[in-house]
Structure 1
């Protein structure tokens, strides 16, 4: 049982390190637009029914919101991004 818990914790830590690293990379490459890029990738993942990647990019977006004070976050822009992704699916 302890071996199972250790493996599970190691797996969860690896997942966390991945989204934190992706958040840092996006924030460095485009501080102002990094949040929107992460959300765009989350919307795309959701549109192709890849729920693991959807959760990953959603967590990346929340991490960017936490670490990057210059990141723009406007609900109207997010709605437009979501609408574009939905229009592309049809």
Structure 2
């Protein structure tokens, strides 16, 4: 039982490292628009019906917001991104 718990914890840590690395990568490329890019990828994944990727990119967006002080985060822009991704996938 302890081994199963240890494996689960390591699996969760690996998932967390993945979205943290993606957030750092986006922030390094474009610190101002990194949050919007993560939101765009989340919206695209959601529109494609890929729930796993959607949650991953949503976590990336929240991590970008946490680590990058220069990131712009206007909710109206996020809504426009979601609308754009939704309509382009129809």
Normalised TM-score (structure 2):
0.98
Report the number of matched residues.
Answer: 90
Aligned pairs for 1:35-54 within 5 A: 35-54=35-54
Q: Where does the alignment leave 5 or more consecutive residues of structure 1 unmatched? A: none
For the aligned residue pairs, the C-alpha RMSD in angstroms reads 0.6
Aligned pairs for 1:66-81 within 5 A: 66-81=66-81
Deviations 1:27-66 (A, max 9, x none): 0100000000000000001011111110000000000000
Q: Where does the alignment leave 5 or more consecutive residues of structure 2 unmatched? A: none
Shift of 1:86: 1.2
Q: Work out the CA distance in 1 between the residues paired with 2:57 and 2:19.
A: 7
Normalised TM-score (structure 1):
0.98
